[in-house]
Homo-oligomer: A and B are copies of this chain.
C-alpha cells in the first residue's frame, strides 16, 4: 500500500499522520528525476510545499525528493503516483500522451496538460499549430521520404536542418544535411516503426544569435515573462546564457514577449514555457523550439531574478499568483558544466573554484560525470557584462567544463 507523504510519517499510525496534515497542505508531483526536478526542491522547501518525484532510477539527481522509482511509460505506475499528490507536473516531456489523458480522465490536475504538451512532444504538430497562429518561424516542411527531402534541400540553398518529430533534445534528433541520403537511416527507422511518420525539414537559418523567451502561465490565465535572454549553443547543447540579452532593442524584446505570450495562451500551456528563438541578421525573430518545463535558458533566474523559474513553475502549476520576474542585477551569466573534471568529482574542485571565484553560484546536479553530460552550471551576477562573463567562464573551467566549440579539437 502506498504510504501517503511525507515519507517520515509513514511509520506513524494513521491518526498521528492526520494531525500533521494540518500544515502539510500541498503536494506537487514531478514525473522525472533529473536536475529540473532537483532544482524545484529549494523552491518547494522555501514555500513549505511538499515535492514528490517519480524517478526513473535509484540515485537520480532529484533523489532527495524521490518517493517512487518507476517507469513513466507504465500507465499504472504513473496513475498510482498521481494518487499521492495534488498536482502532476514534469521534469521532461516524454510521458506518453495517452497516459496523460488517463490521468486527466481520472480527475488529476496535470500541468501542463496533454492538449498543450503534444506541441512540445511532436515538432510537426508544433510547426502546424504555430503556423495557424501566424507565429514567425523558419521555412519548413513535412517530408515523408528522401525525394521530398531532396526537393526541400534544393529549394533552400542546398542544405536543410532535419529533425525527428518526437524525442529530440540537447541536439539529439537534429541534423544539418546537404544530401537527402544523409537521412536514410531515419527514414528507414520510420518505415520500420509502422506508424507512417515523417521528418521535419527546416531551412538553416543564418542567425545573428539565439534568444530564449521564458514565460510562466497559470491555469487561470495570468502570465509573467522574464527578460529575453541570449543563449550560446556548443555542439547542439546550451553552453552559455546572458540575461538580459545584451544590446536588445525594445522592439525585439516586445516581439519576443508577445510571441511567447501568444503561444502560452493559445496552446494552453501552464507552468514555465521556454520559446527558443533565432534572431536573424535583419532583426527578425523566428521560433526554433518549444519546451514546456523549466529550461536550461532559465537557470540564471535562480540567482539572477527575484523569482526563479523553478519557484514560478510551482506557483503556476498550483494556480497561485505569479512572482516578480525582475532581475536582481544588471547582468547575469550562466555557464553550463558538461562532463566535469578529468579526474575526481565536481566537489573535488570546490577548494579551487570557490577561492578563485567567491561570487560564483555553483549548481551541482549530483549526477555521475560523463563526457558531454550536463552535470551542473555556474551563475555570476554583476554590473559589467565582460567582468561577469569572465568570472562565470573561469569558474566553469575550474569545475571542468569543456568550453571549446568542438571545431578541430
Contact = CB atoms under 8 A, between A and B. Distances in A.
Interface of A: 6-9, 11-12, 16, 20, 22-26, 38-39, 41-42, 45-49, 58-60, 63-66, 69, 302, 306-307, 315, 320-324, 326, 328-329, 345-348, 350-351, 354-355, 358-359, 361-369, 376, 381
A381 B345 contact: no
Contact of A9 (B41, B59, B302): B59
A347 to B, nearest CB: 4
Contacts of A381: 306, 328
B58 A12 contact: yes
Contacts of A359: 306-307, 323-324, 326
Nearest to A324: B359
Nearest to A46: B363
A38 to B, nearest CB: 7
A60 B25 CA distance: 15
B46 A364 contact: yes
Contacts of A320: 350-351, 354
A160 to B, nearest CB: 40
Given A22-B368, A320-B350, A59 B358 contact: no
Given A8-B63, A58-B8, A354-B320, A364 B329 contact: no
Contacts of A45: 38-39, 41-42, 64
A391 B301 CA distance: 22
B25 A345 contact: yes
Contact of A48 (B9, B60, B329, B346): B346
Nearest to A328: B328
B47 A364 contact: yes
Contacts of A22: 345, 368
A345 B23 contact: yes
Most chain B Cβ neighbours within 10 Å, of A49, A350, A365, A376: A350
The 4 closest A-B pairs by CB, nearest first: A48-B364, A42-B42, A321-B354, A324-B359
